Amino acid sequence: MKRLILLFLTIPLAAYATIITDVYARQNELLFPAWRGPVDVADAHVPGMRAVTLHTADGLSLVAWYRPAGPGQPTILYLHGNGGNILLRAGRMAIFAAFGWGELFPEYRGYGPNQGAPSEAGFNQDALSAYAFLHQAHVPADHIVLYGESLGTGVAVRLATERQVGAVVLDSPYTSIAAVAQRDFPYLPAALLIKNPFPLLTLIPAIHAPLLVMQGADDVVIPPVQGQKVFAAAAGPKEFWQGPETTHFDVLESGGAAVAQQFVEQTVPKG
Q: What is the dihedral of CA 197, 171, 72, 144, to 10 degrees?
A: 0
| Confidence label for 17 from pLDDT (cuts 50, 70 and 90) | low
Q: What is the pLDDT of residues 234-255, one digit of tens each?
A: 998 999 999 999 999 999 999 9
CA distance 34 to 84: 6
Q: What is the pLDDT of residues 138-165, one digit of tens each?
A: 999 999 999 999 999 999 999 999 999 9
| Residue 9 pLDDT greater than 60, yes or no | no
How high is the pLDDT of residue 73?
96
Q: What is the pLDDT of residues 159-190, one digit of tens each?
A: 999 999 999 999 999 999 999 988 887 777 77
- E strand intervals along 20-163: 50-55, 61-67, 75-79, 102-106, 144-149
Q: Name the residue type at position 38.
A: P
Edge to edge, what strands does the sheet with 75-79 contain? 50-55, 61-67, 102-106, 75-79, 144-149, 167-171, 211-216, 238-243
| Confidence label for 7 from pLDDT (cuts 50, 70 and 90) | very low
How high is the pLDDT of residue 27?
72
Q: What is the dihedral of CA 57, 61, 63, 69, to 10 degrees?
A: 50
Q: Does domain 32-267 have CATH number 3.30.565.10?
A: no
Contact at 8 Å (CB) between 226 and 175?
A: yes
State how beta strands 75-79 and 102-106 pair. parallel
Contact at 8 Å (CB) between 34 and 108?
A: yes
Q: What is the pLDDT of residues 74-130, one digit of tens each?
A: 999 999 999 999 999 999 999 999 999 999 999 999 999 999 999 999 999 999 999
| Residue 4 pLDDT greater than 50, yes or no | no
How high is the pLDDT of residue 18?
66
